[in-house]
Structure 1
C-alpha cells in the first residue's frame, strides 16, 4: 500500500467525484482511477460505489477513510518535525473554532502565529463544537477551540480548559420578562426560543441545563450564525440563551441572568488537541497561546 494510493483515496472520498479529485490533485483521471483500483485489489474489496454523477463510500471505504486520514496526518507531522529540528517551521496548521468563542481571539492569535512562522500554511474551519471535536479526533484538524460539554478526555482527544462563562437570556426590550432581575428555566417553559443547531456548544449546554431542571423548551427558530440569532431576537420572534458576552453585541436587547441551574448553565471554552502526537505547528500555536503574546 503506497501513500499516494491513500492520498488519492481520501481525495475521491472528500470530493465524491473522480474528475474533481483529479483536478485538485493535478493528476490525470485515468491515473487516479488506476490508483484506486490498485488499492481495491490489494484490499480485495470495492471502496466506492460508482455512478455517473458521483461516487460514494462502501462500508469498507468508510472503515478505511478514518485510518487513511490518520496515517496521512502522521506522515505530514513527521515531515514537519524533521523541518522543525532543522530550525524551520513549515507545513500546515489546520485549526478549527466555533463562532464568537469567549477567551480566544482567533484572528489575533493566527495573525501573531503568521508573523512568527510565515512559512506555515494556515487553514481555518468554523463549525459547531461537536463537529470540531470529531475533526480533531480523526486527524483532520490539528487542534480546535470549542465549547467543552464532556469533561472526560478520550483516546483520540484531550481537553484543556481555557475559560468559563455563564449563560444569559436575551430578549426584546418589550418582552414580558424584560424587567426581571433574573429568570429560571421554569420562567421560560412556555417561551419560543431562537437557538443554534444541536451541534453547537451553547445549544448543548442549554439543552442539558433545561433537561436537568425538568423543563421542556421549544426551539422554533434554529440558526447557524450569531448575527441571525440576534436579529431574530431583536424582532421579538423569540428569546435566546447565549454565552454572557453576547449581550455586548446588540445593545437594544435585554440581558437577564439565568438562575436555578447550578453549574450546568456555565460554558467552558477549551482547547482540543489530539491525545497523542501533536504537529510542530500546533505545538507552536499552543506555546504562543500560553505565552499570552497574542
Structure 2
C-alpha cells in the first residue's frame, strides 16, 4: 500500500468514476485502475462495487475511506510544513479575497504590504466568498480573506475569524419592499433577488437563493449595482453599503432574513505556516471590522 494507490482510491470514491478521477488527479486512466487493483490485492478485498461504467464504494471501502482521506491530508500537511521551513514559498504569496470590504481598503492594504515586505511578490485575486476555502484547499492560493459561509469542520483548512461582519437584506429605497412594515416569506420569495454565485462544487445551503426568481453574481459589487439599477433585493455586507444606507439610496427589508452576522475569516491550508505579511494583514482587517 502506498500513497499513489490511496490517492487513486480516494479520487475514485469522491468522483464515482475512474475517468473523472483520472482527470481530477491528472493521471492516466489505465495507471489509475492498476493502482486501485494493486491496493485491493494488497488489502485482500474489493473496495468498489462495479456496475458498468459506475463504481460505488463497497462496505469495506466505506469503512476505510475516511482513514485514507486523513492519510492524504496528513501527508500534504507534512509536505507543506517542510516546504515552509525550507523557504520554498518565501518569495511569492498568492492571496484571494472577496469584495465584502470596500475596494479602497484592499488597495491601501496591498500598497502597504508591498512597502512593508519588499522582498516578497504578492499576487492578489478577487473571488466569490463561496469559493475561498476551495481555492485554499486546492492550493490555488496560499491565503484567503472573506465572509465564511462554510461552517464545516474541514481538516484541510484553518479558519481564523478576524471579526464579525453584518449582512443586510436590502432593496432600493423606492422599492415596494421598503414600504412594507413587515415583509412576509411569500412576498420576499416572489420578489426578484440577486444572490451570490460560486464555482465551488460543495453544496452550501447558506448561499442558496431565497426567492423563486433570482440572478446569481460572483461578487457583492455586481449584486449592489443590480439592486440599484434593476430594482431587485439581495443580502449585502454592511461595510460595502453603509454610505448607500446613509444617503437613503438603500433600505433594509423588514424581514427575519433582514439582518444577520457572519464571521470574516482568514483561510489557511492546514500545515501552512502563517506568513508575517498575512499576520499583519489579518491585524489590519481586525482593526477595521472592530469599527463596525
Q: Tell me which interval the TM-score lies in, with the shorter structure as reference length.
A: 0.5 to 0.7
- Paired residues in the alignment total 264
Q: 1:14 to 1:143 in 2, by over 3 A?
A: farther
Equivalent position SS for 2:46? coil
Offset at 1:59?
5.4
Structure 2 length as normaliser, TM-score?
A: 0.59
Name which of 201, 226, 233 aligns with 1:239.
Answer: 233
8 Å contact from structure 1 (residues 148, 269) kept in 2: yes
Q: Which residue of 2 aligns with 1:289?
A: 281
Deviation at 1:3, TM superposition (A): 0.9
Q: Deviations over 1:178-226 (max 9, x none)?
A: 6x7xx87x2465342514368375x58xx9xxxxxxxxx7553252534
- The Cα offsets for residues 31-76 of structure 1, whole Å up to 9 and x where unpaired, read as 3211111122334132364634xx4442555665554343223223
For 1:7 and 1:15, the matched residues in 2 are separated by 12
Report the Cα distance in structure 2 between the residues aligned to 1:116 and 1:31, rounded to whole angstroms: 42
1:47 paired to 2:48: yes
Root-mean-square deviation over aligned CA pairs: 5.3
Q: CA shift at 1:162, angstroms?
A: 1.9
Structure 2 unmatched ranges of 5 or more: 197-202, 286-292
Deviations 1:229-249 (A, max 9, x none): 446534645322321244389
Q: Which runs of 5+ in 1 are unaligned?
A: 208-216
**Which residue in the other structure is 2:200 paired with?**
none
**Partner in structure 2 of residue 210 of structure 1:** none
The aligned residue for residue 223 of structure 1 is 216
Change (3 A) 1:265 1:242: same
Number of the residue aligned with 2:99? 100
Structure 1 contact 170–242 (Cα < 8 Å) conserved: yes
> Residues 62 and 229 from structure 1, CA distance in 2 versus in 1: closer, same or farther, beyond 3 angstroms?
farther
> Aligned pair 1:37/2:37, yes or no?
yes
1:267 aligns with 2:262: yes
Q: Is the 8 A contact 1:96 1:143 kept in 2?
A: yes
| Secondary structure of the structure 1 residue equivalent to 2:262 | strand
Superposition deviation, residue 132 in structure 1: 6.0
CA distance in 1, matches of 2:255, 2:87: 54
